[in-house]
Amino acid sequence: MSDQQQQNMAPLEHLAIIMDGNGRWAKNQGLPRIAGHHQGVQTVIQVVDECVKVGIRYLSLFAFSSENWGRPQQEVEALMELLLQFLASQRQKMLDGGIRLRVIGDRSRLTESVRQALADAEKETAAGTTLTMVLALSYGGRDEILRAAKKLAEQAVSGSVDLQSIDNKQFSTLLDTQDIPEPDLLIRTSGEQRISNFLLWQAAYAELYFTDVLWPDFNAQELHKAIEDYRQRKRRFGLTDDQLQPGRQLPEGENH
């Protein structure tokens, strides 16, 4: 393999996905929106399996945004019910497969029963080392950054932190994703080309991949297309090509 090819084999440790298009998929089939969400869960199951096969270590899934609370109550309730069913149905498989669940987002807005089920699943799967599935629920990037800024302000007021010493790395530890590496590749399905408040801080240098495929139609083959595309990318992190020669260290202090 040439140096050029080797350079393009960017490691893919963390894949993040904005799973969009469930409602449109259902509409196309003449079904209620929730049928699309049901089908979307089947895609999640397939994609998790494939990520394990490919050796991806972190899979972040945008399942419910801070803004999605504004959807009709019936849809919100159906989504929460679907989440509970998903956790119950996947429990054994996650334990057997070494899949660890991590939840990011503002849990205080979730109902007690959902909070409890999530906490139980996180605790039960905590020893999993094969794949960390990061579920973004009641999650918004701005909300997460705001909560982190408030924590920092509290620490500053109490005198437990020296503000001059706060850098990117330290600020990252206040985010919900504190111990999770930044996403390498961010996929969005359904043809929309926007971030919609997902991982605003963390995706600063993520490679973006947009596909018209609706989430319920996404599958292992589509995932491989995205990975193949990612493999052709050249990540520079603001540096020059010369600085990126194989073996050269990236500068300290950034969260690559």
Among all residues, which ones are annotated catalytic? 20, 68
Position 22 contacts ligand IPE (CB under 6 A): yes
CB of 38 to ligand IPE, least distance (A): 11
Position 20 contacts Mg ion (CB under 5 A): yes
For residue 86 the two structure tokens come to: 């998903």
Total residues at interface with ligand IPE (CB under 6 A): 17
- Nearest to residue 77, comparing CAs of 45, 34, 42? 34
Contact stretch for ligand IPE (CB under 6 A) within 14-22, 162-170, 205-213, 230-238? 14-22
Position 65 contacts ligand IPE (CB under 6 A): yes
Closest-approach residue to ligand IPE (CB) = 23
Strand-pair category, 14-18 with 207-210: unpaired
Contact stretch for ligand IPE (CB under 6 A) within 101-109, 190-198, 218-226, 247-255? 190-198
Burial of 216 by CB count in 10 Å (0-12 exposed, 13-18 middle, 19+ buried)? buried
Measured from the CB atom, the residue of 19 and 174 that comes closer to ligand IPE is 19
Contact stretch for ligand IPE (CB under 6 A) within 64-72, 94-102, 161-169, 243-251? 64-72
CB of 176 to Mg ion, least distance (A): 22
Q: Which does 18 bind (CB under 5 to 8 A by kind): ligand IPE, Mg ion, none?
A: ligand IPE
Q: Which does 22 bind (CB under 5 to 8 A by kind): ligand IPE, Mg ion, none?
A: ligand IPE
Contact stretch for Mg ion (CB under 5 A) within 17-25, 48-56, 111-119, 169-177? 17-25
Strand-pair category, 131-139 with 99-104: parallel
CB of 62 to ligand IPE, least distance (A): 4
Closest-approach residue to Mg ion (CB) = 20
Total residues at interface with Mg ion (CB under 5 A): 1
Phi, psi of 131 (to 5 degrees): -145, 135
Interacting residues with ligand IPE (CB under 6 A): 18-24, 62-65, 68, 79, 190, 192, 194, 196
Interacting residues with Mg ion (CB under 5 A): 20
